[in-house]
Structure 1
Amino acid sequence: MSQAYDFIDNAAVISKRHRQVADLIIDYLAQLSVDYVFGVPGGAIEPLYNALAHSARKGGPRAVVARHETGAAFMADGYYRETGKLGVCCGTTGPGTTNLLTGVASAYENHIPMLVISAQTALSHFGRGALQESSCTGVDTVGILRYCTRYSTLISHVDQFEHKFAAAVMAAFGSPHGPAHLSVPLDILRHPLPGATPLYDLAPHILPPSLFDRDITHKLCGQIEQARKPVFVIGGGCGEARSQILALAGRLRAPVVATPNGKGHVSSDFPLFKGVIGFAGHETARETLADPEVDLVVAMGTALGEWESCGWNPDLLMNNRLIHIDPNEHHLMRSPVARLQVRGRILSIFDYLLEYFKNHGEAGLPKGGADAADAASHDTRLHFRLDEEHKYADTSAPIKPQRLMRELVDIFPRNTCFLADAGNSQAWAIHYLHPFGCEPSAQSAHGSDRLRHCMEFDSMGWAIGAAVGTALGNPQQPVVCITGDGSLLMSGQEISVAVQEKLPIIFVVLNDSALGMVKHGQRLRQSEAVAFELPATDFRAYAEAMGATGHVIRSPADLRALDIAALCARSGPTVLDVRIDPDEVPPIAMRIEILGIDDEIG
């Protein structure tokens, strides 16, 4: 009883306190329409949490407490991808900040705008061996994070705060996007600022610029107009231009392939879609690009990294048929072989292209493609081949992963957002999970984006945290996280955040008691079979111990027996412990080829 009284008394005291720098941070986040700050509290960052508590009582930004700071960064990542709003995560000094590192590095490699706020011990304690000191005289967290952020700085004087805060936000939304880090000592966070209000209006400074070069875009029009058989390659950066790109492909009757990151931008039943190129991709996509009649390949919104370019294959993408369109000059540095590079905002470029071909026709190309594409757009058939397609219909137990991917599309609503974790989960989803009827979401920062994953840094456990951020960003949308038993054992504690926040996320766990990609990779490379085994784990019991609902799935019939509508509507998450066939080999041959065969065999 006395403890409850003390908390009430403390709240009354806090409500009468003077405004501090920490309150001004929250004012700026509210200005940017940020709803949540994901993190783990601690002594040095307590003023920020006091400000968040005050904000939450007024309906402003509030704290979401992760179980590990890496999970907090993954949540901020998922929140941005769903809403387009700045993802914000925080950690206290020392290990609270270093725990953020993997999630921040992941956001850096995947170009996710993120504000990372870390605490420091008081300035007067620098260099004196304070608990968890991580200043320049301790474990220098500003220096550590400098290598995976667009901006990393210590606020050493109150007068620096607003300018550096504005610089951090603008850096996060700069070109390329990425995390920005502010390290704020405890005494700076507590510094009183009576009556202070934000000096800057930051919202107009983070709007995407047009970045449109009319001359080079007109040259691009000429290249497409002269082509006999062009192919479009859609990357992950095409979300806001998805409709325009597919409309032009239909008008030109140009085949479309997607990178793994771009797959979520194309409905699987789009009749010109020939599948995914790159990691876990489809043979029809490779055949489309390898066709000797193809004289132009227009790749847009792709970094052309290992998994997106078939290991930089010169026969498919990396040759002088290539035109590379991207707003990021760093991505364009990877395509010096291209006949034309167009730097600019993809939406602006394709608005221009559509208008151009509307007025100029399509010289040298078949006519009537747009009507043909539209007529077949709702037939829910795949227009590309799958590996082992017969396993889509397999009814055996344990369930085949191929059949599982088909079932997930069939049983969940069309507006479901699927997030696939690193490893075999990702490989199975890229090749076999094909949502239909992907319409652009009014909220999503990435257009339709019905399948999301963390391709570039490929962090295990990303999807678990990102699913929480996604569900908070759009509570009306079903969210399904496809993860492995290895990822869940690494980061599954974040499911309890979904319990606490009452989020109806469905966590689909591919349970084969192994680090699956390691196991199958060793077999395919004929390497030593070592260090891949995991203990048999009952994830239904694991879920129930955290307050979630759990089900064991052994067959397609078990999935069909679930009341999916009820699961999507319940106040809390569900864990499906799916006992998959451990002998099914995922489509990871491209990765194995790049790694090479072990020279020491025999």
Structure 2
Amino acid sequence: MSQTNDLIDNGTVISKRHRQVADLIIDYLAQLSVDYVFGIPGGAIEPLYNALAHSARKGGPRAVVARHETSAAFMADGYYRETGKLGVCCGTTGPGTTNLVTGVASAYENHIPMLVVTAQTALSHFGRGALQESSCTGIDTVGIFRYCTRYSTLISHVDQFEHKFAAAVMAAFGSPHGPAHISVPLDILRHHLPDTPPLYDLATHTLPPSLLDRDITNKLCQQIEQARKPVFVIGGGCGEARAHILELACLLHAPVVATPNGKGHVSSDFPLFKGVIGFAGHQTAKDTLADPAVDLVVAMGTALGEWESCGWNTDLLMNNRLIHIDSNERYLMRSPVARLQVRGRILSIFEYVLEYFKNHSKAGLPKGGMGDVDTASQDTLLHFRLDEEHKYADTSAPIKPQRLMRELVDTFPRNTCFLADAGNSQAWAIHYLHPFGCGPSTQAAHGSGRFRHCMEFDSMGWAIGAAVGTALGNPRQPVVCITGDGSLLMSGQEISVAVQEKLPIIFVVLNDSALGMVKHGQRLRGSEPVAFELPPTDFRAYAEAMGAAGQIIRSPADLRALDIAALCARPGPTVLDVRIDADEVPPIAMRIKVLGLDDEAG
């Protein structure tokens, strides 16, 4: 076997090392144009970090050290959403692996292509009580991950490695996307290999197939053609097809609403946009769907879960007017009431449908809806109405969360990527934060919009880690993470990763000394006011202790006084400790109603 991979100390070659399986992992990641592996090192996974160190010296994939493995998975999630490249995270055996579970489960529910590489103790130590053993004779981590990945396997022999690694990558980019897990024992990672190139070209196996059923798509065209007043519902899965969908909406003059996940795919000033349907949504969107004249609702790229369907509302969405389009068979199982279900790649479907209506349709176009524009206010350029709209202009201190959301859009550059964390941050941002100009040129290549959040599993702290992955994926754009004091106290240590990596992320902390959604939810439901209080915390001092910049914001004037250009250009993060009006109730009524169904049934 040839010896490769010099070990270097201060520029001096101190020894030679054999090429190992760990090096082959990095070779495949380089083949896939992956830039970073997010994780935390440990004894059992040390060979992988040795390979990463060697790779980094050559300008290849390198390690980014998270402060907790859950956040490493969130970083890989954010990196994929920004770049379209495979997100990769890793953990050592035992607790290093189990700490990954929440982040991986979140990726599973949100269909993020992710490779999860974990270590095991050496095969010869299985079943002998080795430190942090997580084999089938200990805490079976391969078994644990089977419930939140598309593929989970143990590499028990080196001859399995390349085939199983390829299978994992292909599963991550399969339909539906999701995380795939390989567990590699220490002795396998260290196994010596000949200095030969990888066996497979995996880049050719990660391209999305253009799945299109022409017969069912022709039925879709006919249904739209026959409709008097169709409405389009844009979900989070529409990213790469958004330009075609919005062009078709303009051609038909069809009103457009978005699910909370789909909001980032529609510019807020798009004339046909009627707002968000579902959690923290807009009355204008509900009124659009409730219009008796609407005879067809085309929902695409949506899971039709609780938050996207207004709590499975049978009047607005879950009825026979519905056409449900998605690539995920599991999601189509949620809409048996639909008059038509179309499974396939949404881009392929709408390329076909748009061509049909441009060249073949005999329908009298436009169909209507363009003239029925309900403008909220001239200065916001919105064509839908907001709750408590007067608070959008409130200048008082402490700052109203409604006004804060508007100020963030007005203050930061148009190419800013906003990420909203679970809880009240998410509710305020969905309803009141409306970036403009979300066109194809202002989006990530694979279709993620300017506004992102994490639905379905809805993990606290997601936005903090994902902001790091986003900023690493695209250093040229401003990144704003909107989070709460509860989430920051849970995962704020990851700010030190942004310090270490010199990332100019702006962390906007909604500071109300409470788990806000819990507090307001209890009040709205008439429950006991319990377990929501947090101690008053100075997050400016918290930030400065980690080497980040910090500012306390009490009013809109404080925010406007900041030098935003300087904050976006500084080599490191800034934490804005925003003292919000703690009495303002977020737009969470739909969630409270769903939580109360059991009470009503009883």
- Correspondences of 1:150-189 after superposition (within 5 Å): 150-189=150-189
Q: Note the alpha carbon deviations across 1:372-406, whole angstroms, 9 max, x for none.
A: 99xxxx99610000000000010000000000000
Q: Secondary structure at the match of 1:559?
A: helix
Does structure 2 conserve the Cα–Cα contact (< 8 Å) formed by 1:81 and 1:445? no
**Change beyond 3 A, Cα 1:169–1:371:** farther
Q: Note the alpha carbon deviations across 1:466-502, whole angstroms, 9 max, x for none.
A: 0000000000010000000000000000000000000
Q: Look up the equivalent residue of 1:108 and give its one-letter code.
A: Y
- Correspondences of 1:177-576 after superposition (within 5 Å): 177-361=177-361, 363-366=363-366, 381-441=381-441, 444-447=444-447, 449-576=449-576
CA distance in 2 between partners of 1:85 and 1:508 (Å) = 27
**1:100 alignment partner in structure 2:** 100
CA distance in 1 between partners of 2:416 and 2:499 (Å) = 20
**Change beyond 3 A, Cα 1:269–1:105:** same
- Correspondences of 1:1-20 after superposition (within 5 Å): 8=9, 12-13=13-14, 16-20=16-20
CA distance in 2 between partners of 1:292 and 1:439 (Å) = 31
**2:4 alignment partner in structure 1:** none
Does structure 2 conserve the Cα–Cα contact (< 8 Å) formed by 1:283 and 1:385? yes
CA distance in 2 between partners of 1:428 and 1:362 (Å) = 44
Q: Look up the equivalent residue of 2:13 and give its one-letter code.
A: A
CA distance in 2 between partners of 1:364 and 1:461 (Å) = 50
Superposed displacement of residue 11, structure 1: 7.5
Does structure 2 conserve the Cα–Cα contact (< 8 Å) formed by 1:238 and 1:446? no
Superposed displacement of residue 366, structure 1: 2.8
| Equivalent residue pairs, number | 590
**Change beyond 3 A, Cα 1:560–1:103:** same
**Change beyond 3 A, Cα 1:597–1:532:** farther
Superposed displacement of residue 370, structure 1: 8.9
Superposed displacement of residue 527, structure 1: 0.1
Q: Note the alpha carbon deviations across 1:89-114, whole angstroms, 9 max, x for none.
A: 00000000000000000000000000
**Change beyond 3 A, Cα 1:415–1:435:** same
**Change beyond 3 A, Cα 1:141–1:10:** farther
Q: Look up the equivalent residue of 1:530 and give its one-letter code.
A: V
- Correspondences of 1:50-199 after superposition (within 5 Å): 50-199=50-199
Does structure 2 conserve the Cα–Cα contact (< 8 Å) formed by 1:24 and 1:196? no
Where structure 2 has 5 or more consecutive residues not aligned to the other structure, the ranges are 1-6
TM-score w.r.t. length of structure 1 = 0.96
Superposed displacement of residue 597, structure 1: 7.1
Does structure 1 conserve the Cα–Cα contact (< 8 Å) formed by 2:409 and 2:435? yes
Q: Note the alpha carbon deviations across 1:424-462, whole angstroms, 9 max, x for none.
A: 000000000000111224771552511100011000000
**Change beyond 3 A, Cα 1:24–1:297:** same
CA distance in 2 between partners of 1:104 and 1:320 (Å) = 36
Does structure 2 conserve the Cα–Cα contact (< 8 Å) formed by 1:420 and 1:453? yes
Superposed displacement of residue 354, structure 1: 1.0
CA distance in 2 between partners of 1:517 and 1:222 (Å) = 44
**Change beyond 3 A, Cα 1:10–1:119:** farther
**Change beyond 3 A, Cα 1:390–1:584:** same
CA distance in 2 between partners of 1:78 and 1:364 (Å) = 44
CA distance in 1 between partners of 2:47 and 2:182 (Å) = 15
Superposed displacement of residue 549, structure 1: 0.2
**Change beyond 3 A, Cα 1:93–1:10:** farther
CA distance in 2 between partners of 1:126 and 1:205 (Å) = 34
Q: Note the alpha carbon deviations across 1:43-79, whole angstroms, 9 max, x for none.
A: 0000000000000000000000000000100000000
CA distance in 2 between partners of 1:198 and 1:371 (Å) = 59
Q: Look up the equivalent residue of 1:12 and give its one-letter code.
A: V
Q: Look up the equivalent residue of 2:104 and give its one-letter code.
A: V
CA distance in 1 between partners of 2:371 and 2:384 (Å) = 20
Superposed displacement of residue 363, structure 1: 1.4
CA distance in 1 between partners of 2:372 and 2:391 (Å) = 31
Q: Secondary structure at the match of 2:268?
A: coil
**Change beyond 3 A, Cα 1:294–1:527:** same
Q: Note the alpha carbon deviations across 1:490-542, whole angstroms, 9 max, x for none.
A: 00000000000000000000000000000000000000000000000000000
Q: Secondary structure at the match of 1:531?
A: coil
Where structure 1 has 5 or more consecutive residues not aligned to the other structure, the ranges are 1-5
Superposed displacement of residue 360, structure 1: 2.6
Which stretch of the first structure deviates more once superposed, 435-444 or 352-361? 435-444
CA distance in 1 between partners of 2:599 and 2:236 (Å) = 36
Does structure 1 conserve the Cα–Cα contact (< 8 Å) formed by 2:420 and 2:483? yes
**1:3 alignment partner in structure 2:** none
Q: Does 1:584 align with 2:565?
A: no
**2:3 alignment partner in structure 1:** none
Does structure 2 conserve the Cα–Cα contact (< 8 Å) formed by 1:526 and 1:598? no
Q: Secondary structure at the match of 1:17?
A: strand
Superposed displacement of residue 371, structure 1: 12
Does structure 2 conserve the Cα–Cα contact (< 8 Å) formed by 1:438 and 1:448? no
Q: Secondary structure at the match of 1:575?
A: strand
Does structure 2 conserve the Cα–Cα contact (< 8 Å) formed by 1:278 and 1:590? yes
Does structure 1 conserve the Cα–Cα contact (< 8 Å) formed by 2:415 and 2:442? no
Does structure 2 conserve the Cα–Cα contact (< 8 Å) formed by 1:251 and 1:370? no
Q: Look up the equivalent residue of 1:496 and give its one-letter code.
A: S
**1:21 alignment partner in structure 2:** 21
CA distance in 1 between partners of 2:141 and 2:102 (Å) = 13
Superposed displacement of residue 197, structure 1: 1.6
Q: Look up the equivalent residue of 1:299 and give its one-letter code.
A: A
**Change beyond 3 A, Cα 1:339–1:76:** same
CA distance in 1 between partners of 2:335 and 2:415 (Å) = 35
Does structure 2 conserve the Cα–Cα contact (< 8 Å) formed by 1:250 and 1:371? no
Q: Look up the equivalent residue of 2:9 and give its one-letter code.
A: I
Does structure 2 conserve the Cα–Cα contact (< 8 Å) formed by 1:418 and 1:451? yes
CA distance in 1 between partners of 2:35 and 2:219 (Å) = 43
**Change beyond 3 A, Cα 1:592–1:527:** same
Does structure 2 conserve the Cα–Cα contact (< 8 Å) formed by 1:510 and 1:578? yes
Does structure 1 conserve the Cα–Cα contact (< 8 Å) formed by 2:443 and 2:450? no
Q: Look up the equivalent residue of 1:90 and give its one-letter code.
A: C
Superposed displacement of residue 359, structure 1: 1.2
Q: Secondary structure at the match of 2:310?
A: coil
Superposed displacement of residue 595, structure 1: 0.2
CA distance in 2 between partners of 1:575 and 1:540 (Å) = 6
Q: Secondary structure at the match of 1:192?
A: coil
CA distance in 2 between partners of 1:68 and 1:19 (Å) = 29
Q: Secondary structure at the match of 2:440?
A: coil
Does structure 1 conserve the Cα–Cα contact (< 8 Å) formed by 2:271 and 2:370? no
